[in-house]
């Protein structure tokens, strides 16, 4: 037991980079699944695309850039490539209803992984070794940026339009919201966030292999989003952190044989017992002592005064999902 | 109330000094010092597709440590082993080795089996400035990654050459087909070196097909291969897929001599392929039939302890522990520089998988054996030394 | 000549996919759930069959097959009862997530009980092949093909000629109306899960005999059958059969003329292309949302 506590510190500091990357991934998927109400189960495909785009930029350096410019250019390339892929997939598949869209995204991710295995230029089964380009601290900088980015969308006009679409597409369209445009936008943004996560992964994992982006990774990210509560910011962030640390802690406890079993059970119990996520639709700032002083929605105070709900604000009752 | 105060006083007067003394004693005395210790982290596929290899490797390490305890108790007491699982995939291999380096602070990493997985462990080990010794990864790229990466098995160019010459000379076959696993570096490398040696020796490659490791249906590839009428079929894959391929070839009525590398070497092959397994050949690191007394002692000890015959992975892991322990003893220190120097100068260590000498590429030069499959075991067929493969 | 051989190989694998796809499609038709754990019922059936054959000497394979079907069916009914029924009126994403959890749970439970490595199925299909010109048809392939079509025939009779089948069709058309007509909807749903999973269990036994048995064996055929069901139009029984055969043939043609390493990529590419032109699949009904 003492060994466990002694190893806890190094393990935590050792996994912080991965925690950051999964938080960004989960936020990206949360944009698509939680906010947009579209069911994607192929998020690892975008992740892989971003990671390999950045990885190629870093290791092959086709433009002969100086060292300090390698990672930024890789990051930009990753975001551009994933955003384009997101746009193309949205163009082809957004007309599909929930389940069919899920299968199309699954297909997309499987195609990406299969292509990575087939192209010798990206290392095929050998994968790619890349030097460390970003520190754990750098990754957490991007986590903060992503959180701000997500919050910015959530409380923007466009964000509210997207939420309205999720609640009732027909009603929202009848008041003039362009469904296709809004959905495409949110899909692209979600994909681009996965691209950011991919670039960070390429710059810190030292090693890229197609095996690291297979279907179960998409499932893992989906689990984080569902566990945290679809469409919530703080819930999903905490769930992503928790689910990334859990396997490492289980590893310390010599529990590894049961790791996936525990994972599946946690997911099942959560979905059955508390499908709305750990904190339900509430965010951290819905806690009374926080919302008294600060709320990310600039209109919150005005809203409270006009509706007189300051004592007990109703959280958005909107979890209709797909 | 009064009694409670007294109790607190009691704790303060007795408990605190006791605690302080205990901590001080712990700090001052510490662990009994016996010179440097070597902390070895093993990374094996204990779960997943290649779990029989991982299990054999772990058993081999365990058996070697016990034997070391009776042979050289002082040295054995200085060696600590931490086990990790790489779950038969490169990503978990990378994570496992990072954990060993940062949490357990190991001095040397031992593992792993599949070359793709070992390759993913190389970068973290080099970055931490530690040593990696692989007992079973035969792809040549592994040790090219840095001067702290060693291995105690032969490499695929040698294995490929052995197989090609065996097909040309011993079996007298002139045309070959290849069916490889395209998700494995080991498989692709072995195929490449076999092809080079086979063509150089006057043979002809008539067909080259690939499969994906998680697929179980191979009839279409076999159909294409059959139409080119090869005399031998090289399947440089792992036993699970090879078993399926043998079974389906037999069901299709396709008769051909199959050749393979050490990826075949597992008792599970005979179980999976059933009656289709007989009369094929594969190269490996050692044979349980070897009459060398050292080998026989090992086979006996392993069989009594684990209730089954050892495969090549067990023997390789067993040898590797002794090679590493010996290097540590000569280095007299657990620093990477000293260990690196000692590992580089391993010469003529007589193990059960042949005589191990580490060459300038940090690979082991040693004999390979070719085994012939029978209904439920593989029997010794030929021995090939590195000087004249 | 090779083309015919590839078609033969494709149809035999495709027949198995079709039988599995029928389970997906039946369940979807009734509760609108893509049951991700369906491939795991195949695995359960395969292990039960393998254990029966290896532990009871001289047991006829038919008995093992029946046991496997019943076991797979019961596991499915249990899963439905524990994991899916409480979520029936919840948004679909939760039920899908539950299905994914059940799938991972069953895989890992099997891994803990039986170990991760592949094992041989003690009984095997007959070895050898018919030779017609240059085309070889294995006894094994032929048996699988015939067996799958017999099973499909039985299913057709159950769905179209029995009271239960009538009730199933009624429930899939309108669950509430069916309930008002006095149909025990919960029982019909359990029954559908049972039938679908026992078909998968039967395929599991064949699959085990043809190849080998391992905890992750259901993933690949499950995914292929899933694609097949969607391609054919999920919810449609003939669609699932056609989709299954089609996926089997496509996989083998890709392996034959391009490379087997592109199998999954091409399969899914075909799916995405078909979906973007005909979003309800080949034989699916278009659902119109009424305001």
Prediction ipTM score? 0.86
Of the candidates A297, A271, A275, the one whose C-alpha atom is nearest the C-alpha of residue A286 is A297
- Tokens (6 digits) for A78: 């990753």
Nearest to B146 by CA among B122, B166, B167: B122
Touching check for C98 and chain A: CB below 8 Å?
yes
* B264/A210 Cα distance (integer angstroms): 25
Taking the C-alpha atoms of C170, C176, C181 and C187 in order, what is their torsion angle to the nearest 10 degrees?
A: 70
With bands split at pLDDT 50, 70 and 90, how would you rate the model's confidence at B324?
very high
Contact flag B141-A126 (C-beta cutoff 8 Å)? yes
Nearest residue of A to residue B100, measured between CA atoms: A11
User: Hey, how many other C-beta atoms are within 10 angstroms of the C-beta on A301?
Assistant: 12
Chain C interface, best mutation among B216, B222, B270, B271, by max C CB count within 10 A: B216
Query: pTM of the full predicted structure?
Result: 0.85
Residue of B223, B235, B375 to mutate, testing the C interface (most C Cβ within 10 Å of its Cβ): B223
Query: Residue C242, class by beta-carbon neighbours within 10 Å (0-12 exposed, 13-18 middle, 19+ buried)?
Result: buried
> Which residues of chain C are modeled with pLDDT < 50?
290-291
pLDDT value, residue B179: 96
pLDDT at B78 over 80: yes
Closest chain C residue to the Cα of A110, Cα to Cα: C265
The reply to whether C78 touches chain A by the CB within 8 Å rule is no
Distance CA C129, CA C70 (A): 31
Residues 6+ apart with CB under 8 A from B379: B287, B289, B371, B372
Statement: residue A315 has pLDDT above 60: no
Question: Residue A314: its pLDDT value, please?
Answer: 45
Instruction: Please give the Cα distance from A196 to A80 (Å, whole number).
Output: 10
Which residues in chain A are contacts of B141 at CB distance < 8 A?
126
Instruction: For the sheet with B257-260, list strands across it.
Output: B204-211, B175-181, B232-234, B257-260, B281-284, B368-373, B378-384
Any residues with CB less than 8 A from the CB of A187 and at least 6 apart, and which?
A: A32, A36, A38, A40, A86, A87, A89, A90, A94
Give start and end residues of each alpha helix (H) in B257-311: 267-273, 293-306
Of C90, C98, C268, the CB nearest to A110: C268
Question: Which run of H or E residues covers position B199?
Answer: helix B185-200
List, for residues A286-299, the tens digit of each pLDDT value.
777 777 777 777 67
Higher pLDDT, B65 or A284: B65
Q: How is B64-82 classified by DSSP, letter by letter?
A: HHHHHHHH-HHHHHTEEEE
| B210 with C261: Cβ contact below 8 A | yes
Q: Give the per-residue pLDDT at A31.
A: 94
Which residues in chain A touch residue B185, judged by CB atoms under 8 angstroms apart? 125-126
* Structure confidence at residue B12 (pLDDT): 53
Of A128, A74, A11, C240, residue with least CA distance to B95 = A11
| A215 and chain B in contact, CB less than 8 A | no
Contact between C256 and B220 using a beta-carbon 8 Å cutoff:
yes
**Distance in angstroms between the alpha carbons of the first and the last residue of chain B:** 89
Confirm or reject contact between A50 and chain B (CB < 8 A): no
- Supply the pLDDT for residue C183: 93
User: Is C251 exposed, middle or buried (CB count within 10 Å of its CB: 0-12, 13-18, 19+)?
Assistant: buried
Residue B268 and residue C116: Cβ atoms within 8 Å?
A: no
Q: State how far residue C53 is from chain A, nearest Cα, in angstroms.
A: 28
Nearest CB partner across the interface for C260, out of B212, B227, B268:
B212
The single-letter DSSP state of residue B285 is: S
Q: Report CA C202 to chain centroid distance, whole Å.
A: 9
The answer on pLDDT for B5 being more than 50 is: no
Chain B residues close to C129, C-beta within 8 Å: 251-253
Cβ-nearest to A14 among B85, B103, B123: B103
Put simply, the answer to whether C275 touches A100 (Cβ < 8 Å) is: yes
Task: Centre a 10 Å sphere on the Cβ of residue A94 and count the other Cβ atoms it contains.
Answer: 17
Mean pLDDT of chain B: 87
Q: What is the pLDDT of residue A168?
A: 84
In tens, the pLDDT along B184-229 reads 888 999 999 999 999 999 999 999 999 987 788 899 999 999 999 9
Q: Compute the average pLDDT of residues A147-162.
A: 89
Q: How far apart are the first and last CA of chain A?
A: 45
Task: Please judge whether A125 and B116 are an interchain contact, meaning their C-beta atoms are less than 8 angstroms apart.
Answer: yes
Q: From chain B, pick out residues whose CB is under 8 angstroms from the CB of C131.
A: 253
Cβ atoms B326, B346 nearer than 8 A:
yes
CA-CA-CA-CA torsion for C54, C55, C57, C62, nearest 10 degrees?
A: -70
CA distance B90 to chain A (A): 7
**What whole-number distance in Å separates Cα of residue B79 and Cα of residue B326?**
11
Q: Which residues of A touch B26 (CB under 8 A)?
A: none
DSSP letters spanning C267-279: HHHHHHHHHHHST
Q: Which of B90, B104, B124 sits opposite A211 (nearest CB)?
A: B90
Q: Tokens at residue B382, please? A: 């030929």
What pLDDT, in 10s, does the model give residues A48-80?
A: 999 999 999 998 887 788 888 899 999 999 999
Placement of tokens 């008041």 in the chain: A175
| Chains in contact with chain B (at least 3 beta-carbon pairs closer than 8 A) | A, C
Mean pLDDT in residue range B236-243: 91
């Amino acid at each position: 037991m003492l060994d466990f506590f002694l190893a806890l510190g190094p393990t935590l500091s050792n996994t912080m980079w991965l925690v950051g990357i999964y938080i960004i991934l989960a936020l990206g998927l949360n944009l698509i699944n939680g906010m947009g109400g579209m069911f994607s189960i192929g998020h690892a495909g975008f992740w892989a695309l971003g990671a390999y785009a950045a990885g190629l930029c870093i290791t092959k350096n086709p433009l002969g850039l100086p060292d300090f410019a390698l990672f930024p250019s890789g990051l930009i390339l990753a975001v551009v490539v994933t955003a384009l892929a997101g746009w193309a997939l949205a163009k082809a598949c957004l007309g599909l209803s929930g389940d069919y869209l899920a299968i199309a995204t699954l297909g997309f991710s499987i195609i990406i992984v299969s292509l990575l295995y087939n192209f010798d230029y990206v290392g095929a089964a050998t994968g790619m070794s890349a030097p460390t380009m970003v520190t754990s601290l750098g990754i957490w900088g991007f986590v903060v940026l992503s959180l701000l980015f997500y919050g910015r969308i959530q409380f923007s006009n466009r964000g509210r339009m997207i939420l309205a679409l999720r609640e009732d597409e027909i009603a929202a369209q009848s008041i003039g919201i362009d469904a296709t445009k809004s959905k495409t936008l949110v899909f692209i943004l979600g994909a681009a966030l996965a691209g950011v996560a991919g670039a960070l992964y390429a710059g810190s994992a030292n090693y890229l292999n197609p095996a690291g982006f297979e279907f179960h990774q998409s499932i893992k990210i989906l689990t984080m989003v569902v566990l945290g509560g679809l469409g919530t910011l703080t819930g999903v962030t905490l769930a992503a952190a928790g689910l990334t640390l859990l396997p490492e802690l289980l590893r310390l406890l010599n529990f590894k044989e049961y790791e996936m079993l525990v994972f599946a059970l946690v997911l099942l119990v959560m979905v059955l017992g508390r499908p709305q996520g750990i904190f339900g639709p509430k965010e951290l700032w819905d806690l009374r002592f926080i919302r008294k002083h600060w709320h990310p929605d600039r209109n919150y105070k005005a809203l409270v005064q006009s509706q007189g709900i300051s004592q007990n604000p109703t959280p958005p009752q909107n979890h209709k999902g797909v | 109330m009064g009694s409670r105060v007294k109790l607190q006083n009691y704790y303060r007067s007795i408990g605190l000094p006791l605690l302080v003394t205990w901590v001080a004693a712990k700090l001052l005395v510490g662990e009994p010092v016996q010179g440097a210790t070597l902390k070895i982290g093993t990374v094996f596929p204990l779960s997943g597709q290649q779990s029989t290899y991982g299990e054999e490797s772990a058993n081999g390490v365990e058996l070697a440590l016990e034997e070391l305890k009776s042979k050289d108790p002082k040295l054995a007491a200085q060696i600590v082993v931490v086990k990790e699982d790489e779950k038969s995939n490169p990503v978990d291999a990378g994570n496992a080795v990072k954990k060993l380096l940062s949490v357990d602070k190991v001095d040397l990493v031992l593992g792993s089996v599949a070359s793709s997985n070992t390759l993913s462990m190389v970068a973290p080990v080099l970055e931490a400035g530690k040593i990696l010794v692989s007992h079973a990864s035969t792809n040549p790229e592994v040790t090219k990654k840095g001067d702290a990466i060693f291995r105690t098995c032969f490499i695929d160019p040698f294995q490929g050459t052995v197989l090609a010459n065996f097909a040309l000379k011993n079996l007298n076959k002139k045309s070959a087909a290849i069916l490889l696993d395209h998700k494995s570096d080991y498989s692709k490398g072995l195929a490449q070196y076999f092809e080079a040696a086979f063509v150089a020796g006057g043979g002809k490659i008539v067909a080259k097909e690939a499969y994906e490791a998680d697929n179980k249906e191979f009839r279409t590839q076999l159909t294409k291969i059959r139409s080119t009428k090869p005399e031998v079929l090289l399947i440089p894959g792992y036993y699970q897929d090879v078993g399926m391929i043998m079974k389906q070839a037999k069901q299709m009525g396709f008769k051909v001599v199959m050749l393979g590398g050490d990826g075949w070497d597992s008792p599970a092959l005979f179980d999976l392929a059933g009656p289709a397994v007989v009369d094929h050949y594969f190269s490996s690191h050692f044979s349980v039939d070897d009459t060398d007394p050292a080998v026989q002692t090992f086979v006996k000890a392993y069989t009594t302890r684990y209730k089954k015959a050892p495969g090549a992975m067990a023997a390789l892991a067993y040898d590797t522990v002794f090679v590493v322990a010996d290097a540590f003893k000569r280095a007299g220190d657990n620093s990477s520089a000293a260990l690196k120097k000692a590992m580089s100068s391993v010469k003529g260590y007589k193990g059960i998988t042949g005589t191990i000498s580490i060459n300038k590429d940090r690979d082991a030069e040693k004999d390979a054996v070719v085994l012939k499959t029978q209904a439920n075991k593989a029997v010794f067929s030929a021995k090939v030394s590195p000087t004249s493969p | 000549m090779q083309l015919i051989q590839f078609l033969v190989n494709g149809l035999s694998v495709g027949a198995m996919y079709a039988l599995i796809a029928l389970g997906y499609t039946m369940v979807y038709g009734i509760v609108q759930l893509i049951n991700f754990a369906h491939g795991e019922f195949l695995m359960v059936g395969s292990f039960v069959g393998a254990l029966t054959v290896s532990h009871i000497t001289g047991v006829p394979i038919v008995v093992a097959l029946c046991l496997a079907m019943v076991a797979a069916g019961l596991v499915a009914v249990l899963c439905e009862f524990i994991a899916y029924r409480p979520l029936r009126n919840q948004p679909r994403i939760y039920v899908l997530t539950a299905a994914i959890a059940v799938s991972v749970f069953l895989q890992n439970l099997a891994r803990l009980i039986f170990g991760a490595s592949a094992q041989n199925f003690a009984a095997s299909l007959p070895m050898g092949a018919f030779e017609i010109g240059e085309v070889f048809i294995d006894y094994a392939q032929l048996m699988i093909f015939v067996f799958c079509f017999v099973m499909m025939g039985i299913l057709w009779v159950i769905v179209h000629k029995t009271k239960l089948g009538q009730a199933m069709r009624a429930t899939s058309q309108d669950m509430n109306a069916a309930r008002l007509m006095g149909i025990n909807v919960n029982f019909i749903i359990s029954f559908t899960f049972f039938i679908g999973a026992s078909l998968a269990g039967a395929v599991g036994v064949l699959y085990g005999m043809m190849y080998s048995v391992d905890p992750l064996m259901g993933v690949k055929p499950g995914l292929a059958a899933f694609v097949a069901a969607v391609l054919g139009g999920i919810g449609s029984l003939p669609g699932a059969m056609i989709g299954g055969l089609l996926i089997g043939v496509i996989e083998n043609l890709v392996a034959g003329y391009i490379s087997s390493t592109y199998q999954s990529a091409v399969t899914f590419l075909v799916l995405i292309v078909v979906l973007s032109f005909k979003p309800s699949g080949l034989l699916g009904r278009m659902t119109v949302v009424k305001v």
